[in-house]
Amino acid sequence: MVLDPGFASAVGHHADLNRLLLPALSAAGWAPELWGDAAAPAQLQHDHPNLRPLLAEAGYIDPRHWCDLPGTLHQASQLLPQLLQASAGPPVQAWVGHSLLPFQLVALARLLQHQPPARVLISLMFAPGEIFAGQSELHLPSQRQAAELQTRSALAALALAAQRSGHHLLLAAASRQLIHRYTPLCQAAGLSPPALHPAPVLGGAPIGPVVEGPVLLHWGERKPDKGRHLALALIERLLQPNPLPPALQPLRWCFHAASSQPAAAGEAALLARARAHPRLQVLEGPLPRSQMLQTLAASPVALLPYCPEAYAERSSGVLWLYGAARAAQGRPARVLGFPGGWLAQEAAALGLSWQDLPASPSPQDLLNAIGQHLHHTPAEPGLSSYGRTVLEGDFSAWVVQRLAADNLTP
């Protein structure tokens, strides 16, 4: 059984992760079910035949209470009866959980106390204190302590459930920083530190040969903390008649946005003008996975000016995907972003070519940084051993391998 209570949207990593994981489990002889939110639209249910959309308002209920213990316990109490009802059938042999917040971990721990011994594998994809609107718990020591308390309580509940019911439990994460953050909390709960698993990116998907394509200006959801305004300002500059420096004139540029909400009028008008430009590529809406990987693999430089506070500990699938797609082609992944956040630290740990942007960069600052990074970095990729584990491994195959082990100890 795969537990992803918040899976009700095709946006983000959920759809691709589950689309790769479930067939891998089936091919290994399991009969997986995906327990998700009942709000999953019909198309999502059609694309995931193993999906059971049976959890009502059990995903991301109220972010205001994700980082406090009373809120965690209250929301877990709303989720638990639904999990108990869903598990009334034949015994579950293995539980795989991902994208779980602390209140969902508490509910799962309480459910496991009522289940026969099984394998339990949980991928920790969110940092303690994640609220999807910036890491507010970093601003005050008391907030950080509160976030760690409810996370440590959830881990202690899992440890108790495993001990009482005889489950084989393994916690894992795809980020060195996440492992560092969770290790003392796991130790306080009597658990081993999380193991390292590959990022859920390529999944063994082949990428056909590519030639160098456009510079990546933006990819994914229209979130303000992803620096979309900087990408749009740069597009405005590219549409001006003033010629670019000679070194940048041959470049092409790519902007992609996927959102359930329409673009603002000004943004829509700007992108309409961009579509008519011969060197600008504008992509919108969900793309086939193959097209996404091909586009990322072809980009010689990626502009990822994410807010370093909002992404202080929040991981970025785009960074992983871009690095993995470029490495699969034997090409360097050149990334530009702001210093101080998770992306800068992770890029350095992976062995990607990273360049800091100045605070509040102008479009000309961005152009200068892109040109400098493009012409003054190695022509060959240099992934670290950590980078090869995270970016070149197959997350779904790793899950299958761990479930097949005699026990789930790292």
Equal fold, 2-198+394-404 vs 215-390: yes
> CATH: 1.20.120.50, 3.40.190.10, 3.60.130.10, 3.40.50.2000. Which one for 215-390?
3.40.50.2000
> CATH: 4.10.830, 3.40.50, 2.40.50, 2.60.40. Which one for 2-198+394-404?
3.40.50
Burial of 32 (0-12, 13-18, 19+ CB in 10 A): middle
Q: How many CB atoms lie within 10 A of CB 204?
A: 12
CA dihedral 355, 360, 366, 370 (to 10 degrees): 0
Distance from chain centroid for Cα 362: 28
Q: Which residues of 286-316 are buried (b: 16+ CB within 10 A; e: fewer)?
A: eeebeebbbbbbbbbbbbbbbbbbbbbbbbb
Strands, sheet with 280-284, edge to edge from the N-terminal-most edge strand: 280-284, 253-257, 215-218, 301-303, 334-337, 353-356
> In 207-277, where does DSSP find H-type helix?
228-238, 265-275
| Helix 317-328 vs helix 342-350: crossing angle, to nearest 10 | 20
- Single-letter residue type at 288: P
Q: Domains of the chain: which residue ranges?
A: 2-198+394-404, 215-390
d(CA 306, CA 292): 20
Residues 6+ apart with CB under 8 A from 185: 128, 148, 151, 152, 155
pLDDT in tens, the chain (410 residues): 898 988 887 666 788 888 889 999 999 999 999 998 888 888 788 888 889 888 887 666 777 777 788 888 999 999 999 999 999 989 999 999 998 999 999 999 999 999 999 999 999 998 887 776 555 545 667 777 888 888 999 999 999 999 999 999 999 999 999 999 999 999 999 999 999 999 988 765 668 888 999 999 999 888 878 999 999 999 999 999 988 989 899 999 999 988 777 788 889 999 999 999 999 999 988 888 888 999 999 999 999 999 998 898 888 999 999 999 999 998 999 999 999 999 999 999 999 999 999 999 999 999 999 999 998 776 666 899 999 999 999 999 999 999 998 655 44
Element (H, E) at 218: strand 215-218
d(CA 284, CA 205): 22
Q: Which residues of 71-97 are buried (b: 16+ CB within 10 A; e: fewer)?
A: bbbebbeebbebbeebbeeeebebbbb
Residues 265, 266, 267, 272, CA torsion sign? positive
DSSP string, 118-166: -EEEEE--S-TT--SS--GGGTSHHHHHHHHHHHHHHHHHHHHHHHHHT
Q: Which residues of 36-54 are buried (b: 16+ CB within 10 A; e: fewer)?
A: bbebbeeebeeebebbbbb
Which tokens go with 274?
Answer: 């961009």
Question: What pLDDT score was predicted for residue 140?
Answer: 65
d(CA 176, CA 232): 32
d(CA 72, CA 66): 6
